[in-house]
């Protein structure tokens, strides 16, 4: 492993002091305003990519970014599920500070309020054209359940700073199963209007529960719900009616959203742009395109990883064709850790073999243990970043502070919230990163580079449905991650002082 010995100094607003001979070029690159592309995977675990050790699936495009950028070993999403992670990613505020940031329904109102400072607003201020493509899962419209899906829905991504959007409102398994382009349902026939409900079915509409014979593509796993409206032969969470011409087909979601991401790059290549590209892969229902079927021996889950890698390759190709690849900062990560059975009988469990989606870590999606939030994280910027591996403690919560530093915008503390400038670490010039990072599940936890403390709580310790060890315990839990990355040896009893110290920091953070 290459360790970076030089801690760089950062000067806001003017330039980066980089300790290399190529200093001038790099400063020029920064002053030129690099394009920024944030590729945000869904449910891809620490061990799901070949550059992170997977050998049952090959991800050449992602690996290429890793090999020519910085691959982080200790990087975290803000939470172990999607909505809170995305909330933290964009706002820089720990999601546990804010009610209403849990996994959002498909008809949730906009969760990031228009007055809230966030990454899109920052990038606009810095003179960028901003785009959001793919999975959103941050709500849209004023209030939950009040949207009229047959007109423009606001507030939404535009009101918080995105010039362009092409989005799935929530998740692949939640209605409405349509794309929203600039906050209007794409391809909608107004003679066949859309209605959505999360409380009751519409008379005469089939459901997975009552009409299992109509489930032609996937069935829900027993006791996992997912048995409401049937769209494209797959039953979902929530009820919807109408909008037939606008419905997505699961097997072409990657194609649809990737083509919009590519088009955004082509159309904006002349001026600096910020693109958030949230993939649907590898969230359930996993139903990859025929082109990717059988590319792994692991069935849909493995093939969806290959499909994700293809999407990454298309974005890279578009950047190259637009002539902006060299001066584009690409950040690739995932919203939370992996889950194998997340509610559809897609054979992910049966065909997993010796693949380890969670890498060497305990837990997974939903968990307070490491695999819940320790995710792949790659920073690639040919003009500036020297390839390497970093074990700095980095967090997606720092996107706001880091991009503010990069674009030379000074933010007041109130706007920064919990976000910090971690540009030196993200560019591979500082191998320490954050002093600590606070996460949450049923209770709070604090992680330093080497240690982790989880507050006692009464949450269930094991989720049988998803086969996840949740990391909850009525006792204090303290793990020395450097020697015990699997979190099996709780050393809280032997280190009462340390526990007290961590508790104190948590109390201070809670009271902020």
Binding site for ligand NG6 (CB under 6 A): 42-43, 81-82, 103, 137, 171, 173, 224-226, 237, 283-284, 336, 342-343
171 touches, from Ca ion, ligand NG6, none (C-beta below 5 to 8 Å by class):
ligand NG6
| Element of type H or E holding 10 | strand 9-11
Among 35, 50, 82, 83, binds Ca ion (CB under 5 A): 82
CB of 413 to Ca ion, least distance (A): 30
CB of 38 to ligand NG6, least distance (A): 17
278 touches, from ligand NG6, Ca ion, none (C-beta below 5 to 8 Å by class):
none
What is the CA 329 to chain-centroid distance, rounded? 17
Between 42 and 476, CB nearer to Ca ion? 42
The site for Ca ion, by CB under 5 A, has a size of: 5
| Element of type H or E holding 40 | strand 35-41
CB of 381 to ligand NG6, least distance (A): 28
What pairs with residue 463 in β-bridges? 468
342 touches, from Ca ion, ligand NG6, none (C-beta below 5 to 8 Å by class):
ligand NG6
Give the integer Cα–Cα distance in Å for 58 and 326: 25
Give the integer Cα–Cα distance in Å for 355 and 335: 20
CB of 410 to ligand NG6, least distance (A): 34
284 touches, from Ca ion, ligand NG6, none (C-beta below 5 to 8 Å by class):
ligand NG6
Count of alpha carbons within 13 angstroms of residue 59, beta-carbon side:
27
Between 334 and 407, CB nearer to Ca ion? 334
Nearest to 167 by CA among 133, 139, 138, 140: 133
461: which 2 tokens?
């310790």
Between 170 and 425, CB nearer to ligand NG6? 170
CB of 342 to ligand NG6, least distance (A): 4
Between 108 and 416, CB nearer to Ca ion? 108
Beta strands in 124-163 (DSSP E): 129-135
> Interacting stretch for Ca ion, rule CB under 5 A, among 42-50, 93-101, 214-222, 225-233?
42-50
Between 335 and 341, CB nearer to Ca ion? 335
Give the integer Cα–Cα distance in Å for 271 and 269: 6
CB of 89 to Ca ion, least distance (A): 12
334 touches, from Ca ion, ligand NG6, none (C-beta below 5 to 8 Å by class):
none
Footprint (CB under 5 A) of Ca ion, residues 320-349: 335-336
User: Cβ of 323: how many Cβ atoms within 10 Å?
Assistant: 10
Nearest to 62 by CA among 281, 255, 257: 281
Beta strands in 215-339 (DSSP E): 230-231, 234-235, 239-241, 273-278, 328-334
Give the integer Cα–Cα distance in Å for 470 and 10: 39
Q: Tell me the residue number closest to ligand NG6, measured at CB.
A: 82
CB of 375 to ligand NG6, least distance (A): 12
360: which 2 tokens?
């060497």
448: which 2 tokens?
């330093």
CB of 385 to Ca ion, least distance (A): 27
CB of 225 to ligand NG6, least distance (A): 4
Between 279 and 336, CB nearer to ligand NG6? 336
CB of 465 to ligand NG6, least distance (A): 7
Owner of token pair 């011409």 = 245
Instruction: Check binding of 487 to Ca ion (CB under 5 A).
Output: no
- Give the sign of the dihedral formed by CA 198, CA 131, CA 324, CA 3: negative
Between 337 and 401, CB nearer to Ca ion? 337
Beta strands in 374-491 (DSSP E): 377-380, 388-395, 437-440, 444-447, 451-454, 462-463, 468-469, 477-480
Which letter, b or e, does each residue of 439-457 get, where b requires 16 or more Cβ atoms within 10 Å of its Cβ? bbbbbbbbbbbebbbbbeb
Instruction: Check binding of 42 to Ca ion (CB under 5 A).
Output: yes
196: which 2 tokens?
């959505």
Between 93 and 335, CB nearer to Ca ion? 335
Between 137 and 415, CB nearer to ligand NG6? 137
Between 43 and 430, CB nearer to ligand NG6? 43
Nearest to 261 by CA among 333, 322, 303, 306: 322
Give the integer Cα–Cα distance in Å for 146 and 197: 10
CB of 137 to Ca ion, least distance (A): 8
> Interacting stretch for Ca ion, rule CB under 5 A, among 82-90, 175-183, 251-259, 348-356?
82-90
Q: Tell me the residue number closest to Ca ion, measured at CB.
A: 82
Instruction: Give contact residues for Ca ion (rule: CB under 5 A).
Output: 42-43, 82, 335-336
């Amino acid at each position: 492993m290459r360790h970076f010995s030089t801690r760089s100094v950062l000067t806001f607003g003017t330039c980066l002091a980089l300790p290399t001979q190529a200093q001038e070029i790099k400063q020029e690159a920064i002053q030129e305003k690099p394009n920024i592309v944030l590729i945000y995977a869904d449910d891809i675990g620490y061990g799901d990519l070949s550059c992170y050790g997977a050998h049952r699936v090959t991800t050449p495009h992602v690996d290429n970014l890793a090999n020519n950028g910085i691959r982080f070993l200790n990087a975290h999403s803000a939470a172990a599920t999607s909505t809170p992670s995305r909330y933290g990613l964009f706002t820089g505020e720990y999601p546990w500070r804010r009610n209403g940031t849990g996994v959002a329904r498909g008809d949730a109102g906009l969760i990031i309020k228009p007055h809230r400072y966030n990454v899109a607003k920052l990038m606009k201020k810095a003179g960028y054209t901003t785009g959001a493509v793919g999975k959103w899962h941050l709500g849209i419209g004023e209030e939950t359940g009040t949207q009229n899906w047959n007109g423009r829905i606001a507030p939404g991504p535009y009101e918080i700073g995105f010039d362009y959007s092409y989005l799935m409102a929530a998740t692949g398994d939640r209605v409405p199963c349509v794309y929203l382009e600039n906050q209007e349902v794409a391809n909608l026939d107004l003679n066949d209007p859309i209605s959505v409900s999360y409380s009751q079915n519409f008379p005469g509409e089939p459901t997975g529960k009552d009409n299992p014979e109509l489930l032609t593509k996937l069935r829900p796993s027993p006791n996992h719900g997912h048995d409401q409206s049937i769209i494209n032969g797959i039953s979902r969470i929530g009820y919807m009616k109408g909008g037939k011409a606008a419905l997505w087909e699961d097997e072409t979601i990657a194609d649809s959203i990737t083509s919009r991401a590519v088009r955004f790059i082509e159309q904006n290549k002349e001026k600096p742009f910020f693109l958030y590209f949230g993939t649907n892969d590898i969230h359930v229902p996993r139903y990859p395109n025929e082109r990717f079927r059988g590319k792994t021996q692991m069935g849909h889950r493995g093939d969806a990883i290959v499909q994700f890698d293809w999407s990454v390759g298309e974005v890279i190709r578009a950047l190259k064709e637009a002539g902006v690849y060299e001066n584009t900062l690409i950040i690739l990560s995932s919203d939370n850790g992996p889950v194998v059975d997340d509610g559809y009988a897609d054979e992910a469990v049966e065909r997993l073999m010796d693949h380890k989606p969670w890498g060497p870590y305990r837990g997974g999606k939903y968990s307070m243990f490491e695999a819940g939030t320790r995710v792949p994280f790659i920073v690639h910027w040919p003009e500036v970043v020297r390839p390497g591996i970093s074990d700095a403690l980095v967090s997606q919560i720092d996107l706001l502070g880091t991009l503010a530093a990069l674009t030379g915008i000074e933010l007041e503390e109130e706007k920064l919230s919990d976000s910090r400038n971690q540009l030196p670490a993200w560019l591979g010039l500082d191998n320490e990163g954050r002093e600590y990072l606070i996460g949450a599940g049923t209770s709070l936890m604090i992680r330093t580079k080497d240690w982790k403390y989880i507050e006692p709580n009464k949450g269930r310790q094991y989720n049988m449905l998803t086969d996840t060890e949740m990391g909850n315990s009525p006792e204090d839990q303290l793990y020395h991650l450097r020697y015990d990355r699997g979190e099996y040896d709780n050393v809280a009893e032997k280190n009462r002082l340390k526990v007290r110290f961590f508790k104190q920091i948590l109390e201070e953070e809670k009271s902020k």
